Amino acid sequence: EAQVTQNPRYLITVTGKKLTVTCSQNMNHEYMSWYRQDPGLGLRQIYYSMNVEVTDKGDVPEGYKVSRKEKRNFPLILESPSPNQTSLYFCASSYPGQLSPLHFGNGTRLTVT
Protein backbone atom coordinates (compact mmCIF):
# COMPACT_ATOMS: atom_id res chain seq x y z
CA GLU A 1 0.00 0.00 0.00
CA ALA A 2 1.29 3.44 -0.99
CA GLN A 3 1.75 5.49 2.14
CA VAL A 4 3.67 8.05 4.14
CA THR A 5 4.56 6.78 7.59
CA GLN A 6 5.37 9.04 10.49
CA ASN A 7 6.60 8.00 13.91
CA PRO A 8 5.76 8.49 16.64
CA ARG A 9 2.08 9.48 16.51
CA TYR A 10 2.26 11.13 19.92
CA LEU A 11 5.25 12.55 21.75
CA ILE A 12 5.53 14.41 25.03
CA THR A 13 8.91 15.83 25.89
CA VAL A 14 10.58 18.52 27.95
CA THR A 15 12.22 21.73 26.87
CA GLY A 16 15.70 21.24 25.47
CA LYS A 17 15.64 17.48 24.97
CA LYS A 18 16.60 16.67 21.40
CA LEU A 19 14.09 14.63 19.44
CA THR A 20 13.58 13.25 15.94
CA VAL A 21 10.33 12.58 14.14
CA THR A 22 10.75 10.08 11.34
CA CYS A 23 9.01 10.12 7.97
CA SER A 24 9.20 7.43 5.33
CA GLN A 25 7.42 7.04 1.98
CA ASN A 26 7.24 4.02 -0.31
CA MET A 27 6.15 5.77 -3.52
CA ASN A 28 9.61 6.74 -4.83
CA HIS A 29 8.64 10.41 -4.58
CA GLU A 30 11.35 13.00 -5.14
CA TYR A 31 9.61 15.79 -3.20
CA MET A 32 9.10 15.64 0.55
CA SER A 33 8.03 18.31 3.00
CA TRP A 34 7.24 18.94 6.64
CA TYR A 35 4.32 21.04 7.89
CA ARG A 36 2.99 22.07 11.23
CA GLN A 37 -0.71 22.60 11.87
CA ASP A 38 -1.88 25.00 14.54
CA PRO A 39 -5.45 26.12 15.25
CA GLY A 40 -6.44 29.09 13.11
CA LEU A 41 -3.16 29.04 11.16
CA GLY A 42 -3.68 26.19 8.73
CA LEU A 43 -0.67 24.18 7.62
CA ARG A 44 2.65 25.99 7.46
CA GLN A 45 5.68 24.58 5.69
CA ILE A 46 8.80 23.99 7.79
CA TYR A 47 11.30 22.44 5.36
CA TYR A 48 11.15 20.72 2.03
CA SER A 49 13.39 18.53 -0.09
CA MET A 50 13.42 18.15 -3.84
CA ASN A 51 15.64 15.06 -3.80
CA VAL A 52 18.41 13.29 -1.92
CA GLU A 53 20.83 15.75 -0.30
CA VAL A 54 18.71 18.73 -1.47
CA THR A 55 16.78 20.53 1.28
CA ASP A 56 15.57 24.08 1.78
CA LYS A 57 13.66 26.21 4.26
CA GLY A 58 9.93 26.73 4.15
CA ASP A 59 7.94 29.42 5.93
CA VAL A 60 8.75 28.53 9.55
CA PRO A 61 12.15 26.76 9.71
CA GLU A 62 13.46 28.26 12.96
CA GLY A 63 14.23 25.62 15.56
CA TYR A 64 14.08 22.69 13.12
CA LYS A 65 16.55 20.68 11.07
CA VAL A 66 16.05 18.06 8.39
CA SER A 67 18.17 15.65 6.40
CA ARG A 68 17.61 13.67 3.21
CA LYS A 69 20.23 10.97 2.96
CA GLU A 70 17.91 8.48 1.29
CA LYS A 71 15.05 9.11 -1.09
CA ARG A 72 12.43 7.45 1.09
CA ASN A 73 13.30 9.07 4.44
CA PHE A 74 13.01 12.68 5.60
CA PRO A 75 13.41 13.02 9.37
CA LEU A 76 12.55 16.21 11.26
CA ILE A 77 14.96 17.07 14.05
CA LEU A 78 14.33 19.41 16.96
CA GLU A 79 17.73 20.02 18.55
CA SER A 80 16.37 21.95 21.53
CA PRO A 81 12.57 21.86 21.60
CA SER A 82 10.64 24.71 23.17
CA PRO A 83 6.98 24.96 24.22
CA ASN A 84 6.12 27.06 21.13
CA GLN A 85 6.92 24.00 19.03
CA THR A 86 3.98 22.18 20.55
CA SER A 87 1.93 21.38 17.48
CA LEU A 88 0.61 18.75 15.09
CA TYR A 89 3.23 17.87 12.48
CA PHE A 90 2.65 16.35 9.05
CA CYS A 91 5.08 14.93 6.56
CA ALA A 92 4.09 14.87 2.90
CA SER A 93 5.54 13.61 -0.35
CA SER A 94 4.81 13.91 -4.05
CA TYR A 95 6.31 13.75 -7.51
CA PRO A 96 7.78 17.09 -8.61
CA GLY A 97 5.48 19.69 -10.11
CA GLN A 98 2.63 22.00 -9.27
CA LEU A 99 0.01 19.44 -10.28
CA SER A 100 1.19 16.46 -8.31
CA PRO A 101 -1.01 15.65 -5.32
CA LEU A 102 0.65 15.63 -1.95
CA HIS A 103 0.41 12.46 0.11
CA PHE A 104 0.34 13.14 3.83
CA GLY A 105 1.22 11.02 6.81
CA ASN A 106 -1.21 10.69 9.72
CA GLY A 107 0.58 13.25 11.82
CA THR A 108 2.68 13.49 14.96
CA ARG A 109 1.23 15.36 17.90
CA LEU A 110 4.11 16.88 19.83
CA THR A 111 3.83 18.44 23.27
CA VAL A 112 6.82 20.26 24.75
CA THR A 113 6.54 21.12 28.44
Residues at the interface with another protein (CB under 8 A): 4, 40, 42-43, 45, 48, 50, 54, 56, 58-59, 90, 92, 97-99, 101-107
Nearer to another protein, 18 or 22 (CB): 22
Q: How near is the Cβ of 55 to another protein at its closest, in Å? A: 10
Nearer to another protein, 77 or 95 (CB): 95
Residue 90's nearest CA partner among 113, 58, 52 is 58
- The two counts, helices (H) then strands (E), for the chain are 0, 11
> What does the alpha-carbon distance between residue 108 and residue 9 come to, in Å, rounded to a whole number?
4
Nearer to another protein, 15 or 26 (CB): 26
* Under 8 Å between Cβ of 2 and 27: yes
